[in-house]
Copies of this chain bind each other. A is one copy, B any other.
Amino acid sequence: MRILVTGASGFVGRAVLPPLLAAGAEVHAVSRTGGAAVDGCIWHRADLMEADRVHALVGDVRPQIVLHLAWCVEHGRFWTDPANLDWVAASLHLARAAAEAGASRFVATGTCYEYDWPDQGKCRECETPTAPHTLYDTSKDACRRILEAFFAQQGMDFAWGRLFFLYGAGETPSRLVASIARALVQGHKAPVSLGLAVRDFVDVRDAGAALAALALSAATGPVNIATGEGISVANLAMKLGEIAGRPNLVQLGALEDRAGEPPVIVADTERLTSEIGFRPLRTIDKGLGDALDYWASRLGQIDRTPG
């Protein structure tokens, strides 16, 4: 199975490649910087904003499957980044190139922010409607609508992995888990909001394995990439403090809660577990512990309590 992966050197991309390789796929990894972030792949350097280059590359590789992960993801900025429009355009060009090169399957990633989050209960792919919140999720949702119509017409399979709250090694340092873990391993106070919001946090390695399984499956349409379990931000922060052996450093309520944030965003993972046959391999304790180890190895020592 020959698969072309965009955004391959990114946070999610690096986590998708090992399970694809382990499944025996011939993995063509595309990156703007061209860095060989994972061994065993065939790396290609390309800027997806250059439509002609994309057509030539996809025509050369002739993948059976395209797994499109690239998008603008600069932390704090991607919600409103006008580059979201360019990424819609680039994704549509890639879709046409894939169809013209004879690919039979196209898989791309959306976000849990596409959903009109229910006041109670979990987000279900086929029941929960979508609603616009930011330019980012509006662009993702609109892109999915076009791709769904296009690939249906082309007779190609199309799936859309909706990513929930990823964390883990290699995460942008200013994101939630990374910022708390970095403070803790350095012995600094870790200021957090009251943290009542409940979210579905998923280890990026599990998200990568789930996306790889989705890409190699025959499933079509939206599929939540998540654990199906919610945890409040406060509990997550306290867990990090306890695992690090420094619970007193976690300062709940020291930061303002973000206005307008929904109380609960948790996935229904029936499609992922039943249709794709995937289950997360790591508990939240294991994932958070590994995140602490990652930042400790980069930033300094830490007293890990056993267990």
A150 at the interface (CB under 8 A from B): yes
Tell me which residues from 94 to 131 in chain A have a Cβ below 8 Å from any Cβ of chain B: 95-96, 99
Residue of chain B at shortest CB distance from A142: B142
Q: How many residues of A contact B (CB 8 A)?
A: 28
* A149 contacts B by Cβ under 8 Å: yes
Establish whether residues A146 and B92, one from each chain, have CB atoms under 8 Å apart when the complex forms.
Answer: no
Q: Is the CB of A96 within 8 A of B92?
A: no
Report the nearest B residue to A94, measured CB to CB. B85
Q: Is the interface of A mostly helix, strand, loop or mixed?
A: helix
A86 within 8 A of B: yes
- Contact in complex: B150, A134 (CB < 8 Å): no
User: Which chain B residues border A134 with CB–CB below 8 Å?
Assistant: 149
| Alpha-carbon separation in the docked complex, A50 to B141 (Å) | 25
Among B85, B99, B148, point to the contact of A146 (Cβ < 8 A): B85
| Alpha-carbon separation in the docked complex, A124 to B29 (Å) | 47
Residue A88 at the chain B interface, CB threshold 8 Å: yes
Residues of B within 8 A of A80 (CB): 153
Tell me which of B86, B139, B146 contacts A96 (CB under 8 A). Answer: B86
Alpha-carbon gap, A223 to B86, bound state (A): 27
**Pair A146/B86 contact, Cβ less than 8 Å:** no
Q: Does A170 contact B (CB under 8 A)?
A: no
Q: Which residues of A137-184 are within 8 A (CB) of B?
A: 138-139, 141-143, 145-146, 148-150, 153-154
8 A-B residue pairings within 8 Å (CB atoms)? A80-B153, A82-B99, A82-B154, A85-B93, A85-B146, A86-B96, A88-B88, A139-B146
